Amino acid sequence: MSDEPGADGDIAQSVHVGRQPIWSADRRLVGYELLFRGGMGVSGSFATSQVIVNAFTEFGLAEIAGDRLCFINMTREFLTDELPLPFGPGQAVLEVLETIVVDEELIAGVQRRREQGYAIALDDFLLDTGHERLMGLADYVKIDILNTEPDECRRIAAACRAYPEITLLAEKVENQEHLALAEELGCGLFQGYLLGRPQVLSAQALSPSKFSRIQLMAALLKQDVEINEIVSLVTQDPALSFRLLRASNSVAAGVTNRVSSVHEAVMMLGIAQVRQWVALMALSDVFDSTEGPVDAALSRARMCQLVAAELDQPMDAAFTVGLLDRVADLIDVPSDELAGQLPLSTEVSAALADQAGGLGRVLQAVRAYESGDLDSIRATGIDPNRLTTTFLAAAGWSTNAIDALYAGSGPRE
């Protein structure tokens, strides 16, 4: 996919997700299947995590689907709780891929997801494969009209009639004959090229702005910052001071004496929490309180922090590296140029400018994971599969932090 200029003349970020429309029998648009759009040779869990994070953090479901359903392919790891889902049931329909082996562990996992409120779809469903064991848990059964013989399609439809709660979805409907067969089968939903081809959505770059806020954010995240320096930096900005006081008083619910000064707020919350909380507020202001860019920056920062723990690197410094590196991406400024304008330590500057040193190795691994470059991940000595769990944990943390920011309370750990 080629980059395109945004409305303000900047270049679109290479963050993308595909969607293919799903229609009802009366031709109402009722949902989309979300599709991975990225590098070649990517593992199933990696691709699924990319779709999840791009859809739920970079874009947001409102932008992708409005209030419609979103069907997302799930690998075994997501269905059995080995990997967490960083979103609630809501609009999401979890598709059980036809390649997954159905055993007791998988059945138990799908049962748990169903009990948690998630809708379940059986993808490219065929009888006599073991997947019929899941029919009692399914809300949707998807029939591949293109690649399944008509008589076999009829056999599947007949088997599904024993489960009144199942809605049949005809996929790969590519011509009028396919559509006629799908209607004969009693399908309630339809998907395929005849009705709509996949579209690719891309997140747009942000225009450069508000470097003073970024400078404040960087100063607050310095490794050796002290309480008095934090108080001094925050009190120079009345709006930021007010927001910190509001946040700390929210955290202090039930405490007899509410805080009345920035110094009291810092003392009550502690340096570590205040540093990240104020940086979060500053970052929100940089992007005019737009949740998507803030979430993107926090996700990368948190992932760098978690990877740093595994590589025995300073976690706070890694958080700073990840945060500022993503900010540089979002405002379309080279990381080394941004680093040159900020009061950063030598190690942080080197990581941002040249991906050098231990912190640079952390950043290399995270960036390679986000771009789907598995060879570059392995070159850092990290197992790409382990990064999938880290990636989703970071996305979940960032979502909680954003929720807390806009609710007026401190980020939840």
Q: Are residues 296 and 193 in the same domain?
A: no
pLDDT of residue 327: 78
Q: Which residues contact 254 (CB under 8 A, 6 or more apart)?
A: none
Does residue 60 belong to any structural domain of this protein?
yes
Alpha carbon of 307 to those of 5, 90, 114, 312, 394: distances in Å? 33, 30, 32, 9, 10
pLDDT at 10 over 60: no
pLDDT of residue 56: 56
pLDDT of residue 259: 55
Q: Are residues 50 and 111 in the same domain?
A: yes
Q: How many structural domains does the chain have?
A: 2
DSSP state of 138: -
Q: Are residues 262 and 326 in the same domain?
A: yes
Q: Are residues 230 and 366 in the same domain?
A: yes
The helix or strand, by DSSP H or E, that contains position 120, with its residue range, turns out to be: strand 119-122
HSE-CB of 189 using CA atoms within 13 angstroms: 23
pLDDT digits (tens, 9 = 90+) for 343-399: 677 888 899 988 899 999 999 999 888 888 888 888 888 877 788 888 888 887 777
pLDDT of residue 84: 67
Does residue 315 belong to any structural domain of this protein?
yes
Residues across the chain: 413
Percent of the chain clearing pLDDT 90 (strictly above):
32
| CATH number of the domain residue 232 falls in | 1.10.3210.10
pLDDT of residue 388: 82
If one counts every other C-beta atom within 10 angstroms of the C-beta of residue 82, the result is: 14
Q: Are residues 54 and 91 in the same domain?
A: yes
pLDDT digits (tens, 9 = 90+) for 142-188: 999 999 999 999 999 999 999 999 999 999 999 999 999 999 999 99
- 94 in Cβ contact with 74 (< 8 Å): yes
Q: Are residues 253 and 380 in the same domain?
A: yes
Q: What is the mean pLDDT of residues 317-345?
A: 78
Q: Are residues 190 and 254 in the same domain?
A: no
Does residue 52 belong to any structural domain of this protein?
yes
362: exposed, middle or buried (Cβ count in 10 Å: 0-12, 13-18, 19+): buried
Domain boundary among 173, 202, 231: 202
Bridge partners of residue 11, in order along the sequence: 5
pLDDT at 208 over 50: no
Does residue 86 belong to any structural domain of this protein?
yes
Does residue 318 belong to any structural domain of this protein?
yes
Domain that holds residue 122: 16-202
- Residue of 302, 274, 297, 273 whose CA lies nearest to 286: 297
HSE-CB of 153 using CA atoms within 13 angstroms: 25
pLDDT of residue 277: 64
Q: What is the mean pLDDT of the chain?
A: 76
pLDDT of residue 412: 41
| CATH number of the domain residue 35 falls in | 3.20.20.450
Q: What is the mean pLDDT of residues 114-128?
A: 95
3-state SS assignment for residue 146: coil
- 98 in Cβ contact with 131 (< 8 Å): yes
Q: Are residues 177 and 241 in the same domain?
A: no
- Per-residue burial over 111-144, b = 16 or more CB atoms within 10 Å of its CB, e = otherwise: eebbeeebbbbbbbbbeeeebbebbebbbbbbbb
Instruction: For 44-96, give the secondary structure using H, E and C.
Output: HHHHHHHHHHHHHHHHCHHHHHCCCEEEEEECHHHHCCCCCCCCCCCCEEEEE
Domain boundary among 180, 202, 224: 202
Domain boundary among 172, 202, 232: 202
Residue 87 or 352, more confident? 352
